[in-house]
Amino acid sequence: MKASLIWLILALMAAAGAHADEKAVPLKEAPGQPAVEENCASCHSLDYLRTNSPFLDRKGWQAEVNKMINVFGAPVASGDAKTIVDYLAENYGTGR
Protein backbone atom coordinates (compact mmCIF):
# COMPACT_ATOMS: atom_id res chain seq x y z
CA MET A 1 0.00 0.00 0.00
CA LYS A 2 2.76 2.42 0.96
CA ALA A 3 4.69 1.69 -2.24
CA SER A 4 1.55 2.33 -4.34
CA LEU A 5 1.08 5.69 -2.68
CA ILE A 6 4.69 6.66 -3.34
CA TRP A 7 4.35 5.70 -7.03
CA LEU A 8 1.15 7.70 -7.28
CA ILE A 9 2.79 10.77 -5.77
CA LEU A 10 5.79 10.45 -8.10
CA ALA A 11 3.53 10.08 -11.14
CA LEU A 12 1.54 13.17 -10.16
CA MET A 13 4.72 15.17 -9.62
CA ALA A 14 6.03 14.14 -13.05
CA ALA A 15 2.75 15.11 -14.71
CA ALA A 16 2.74 18.48 -12.97
CA GLY A 17 6.26 19.16 -14.17
CA ALA A 18 5.26 18.53 -17.77
CA HIS A 19 2.85 21.48 -17.65
CA ALA A 20 5.45 23.84 -16.22
CA ASP A 21 7.19 24.11 -19.59
CA GLU A 22 3.96 24.89 -21.45
CA LYS A 23 4.21 27.94 -23.69
CA ALA A 24 1.66 30.71 -23.41
CA VAL A 25 -0.93 30.72 -26.17
CA PRO A 26 -0.71 33.99 -28.08
CA LEU A 27 -4.03 35.63 -28.85
CA LYS A 28 -4.80 37.63 -31.96
CA GLU A 29 -3.98 41.27 -31.41
CA ALA A 30 -7.26 43.16 -31.54
CA PRO A 31 -9.45 45.35 -29.35
CA GLY A 32 -10.53 43.36 -26.32
CA GLN A 33 -7.44 41.14 -26.17
CA PRO A 34 -6.34 42.43 -22.73
CA ALA A 35 -9.79 41.78 -21.25
CA VAL A 36 -9.69 38.18 -22.48
CA GLU A 37 -6.17 37.60 -21.18
CA GLU A 38 -6.94 39.14 -17.78
CA ASN A 39 -10.29 37.44 -17.25
CA CYS A 40 -10.12 34.10 -19.05
CA ALA A 41 -6.53 32.95 -18.58
CA SER A 42 -6.80 33.17 -14.81
CA CYS A 43 -9.08 30.08 -14.83
CA HIS A 44 -8.20 28.05 -17.91
CA SER A 45 -5.81 27.75 -20.82
CA LEU A 46 -6.35 30.05 -23.76
CA ASP A 47 -6.13 26.96 -25.99
CA TYR A 48 -9.83 26.73 -25.23
CA LEU A 49 -10.43 29.56 -27.69
CA ARG A 50 -8.86 27.72 -30.60
CA THR A 51 -10.51 24.44 -29.64
CA ASN A 52 -14.03 25.89 -29.63
CA SER A 53 -13.72 28.59 -32.30
CA PRO A 54 -14.74 26.34 -35.20
CA PHE A 55 -18.09 25.73 -33.49
CA LEU A 56 -19.15 29.00 -31.86
CA ASP A 57 -20.80 32.04 -33.37
CA ARG A 58 -21.55 35.24 -31.44
CA LYS A 59 -24.51 33.63 -29.63
CA GLY A 60 -22.36 30.63 -28.73
CA TRP A 61 -19.57 32.79 -27.33
CA GLN A 62 -22.15 34.83 -25.40
CA ALA A 63 -23.51 31.62 -23.89
CA GLU A 64 -19.99 30.47 -22.96
CA VAL A 65 -19.13 33.78 -21.27
CA ASN A 66 -22.48 33.74 -19.44
CA LYS A 67 -21.80 30.17 -18.28
CA MET A 68 -18.35 31.11 -16.99
CA ILE A 69 -19.84 34.01 -15.02
CA ASN A 70 -23.17 32.57 -13.85
CA VAL A 71 -22.33 28.89 -13.39
CA PHE A 72 -18.63 28.84 -12.59
CA GLY A 73 -18.55 32.19 -10.80
CA ALA A 74 -15.90 33.89 -12.92
CA PRO A 75 -15.45 37.39 -11.51
CA VAL A 76 -15.91 39.28 -14.78
CA ALA A 77 -17.26 42.84 -14.78
CA SER A 78 -20.30 43.38 -17.01
CA GLY A 79 -18.35 45.82 -19.22
CA ASP A 80 -15.60 43.25 -19.67
CA ALA A 81 -18.12 40.53 -20.50
CA LYS A 82 -19.34 42.43 -23.56
CA THR A 83 -15.78 43.23 -24.60
CA ILE A 84 -14.81 39.56 -24.27
CA VAL A 85 -17.78 38.37 -26.33
CA ASP A 86 -17.07 40.97 -29.02
CA TYR A 87 -13.40 39.95 -29.18
CA LEU A 88 -14.15 36.23 -29.31
CA ALA A 89 -16.89 36.58 -31.93
CA GLU A 90 -14.74 38.80 -34.15
CA ASN A 91 -11.49 36.85 -33.86
CA TYR A 92 -12.42 33.26 -33.03
CA GLY A 93 -16.07 32.89 -34.02
CA THR A 94 -17.59 31.06 -36.96
CA GLY A 95 -18.79 34.34 -38.47
CA ARG A 96 -15.34 35.88 -38.85
> Domain extents for the chain?
27-92
State if pTM tops 0.85. no
CB 86 within 8 A of CB 32: yes
CA 88 vs. chain centroid, Å, equals 11
CB 55 within 8 A of CB 64: no
What was the pLDDT predicted at 18? 47
Cβ partners under 8 Å of residue 37, min gap 6: 27, 46
User: Residue 1: is its pLDDT beyond 80?
Assistant: no
What pLDDT, in 10s, does the model give residues 29-88? 999 999 999 999 888 888 888 877 788 999 999 999 999 999 999 999 878 999 999 999
- In a 13 Å sphere around the CA of 31, the CA atoms on its Cβ side amount to 4
Phi/psi of residue 74, nearest 5 degrees: -60, 130
**Helix or strand (DSSP H, E) at 63:** helix 58-70
Q: Domain 27-92 classified CATH 1.10.10.60?
A: no
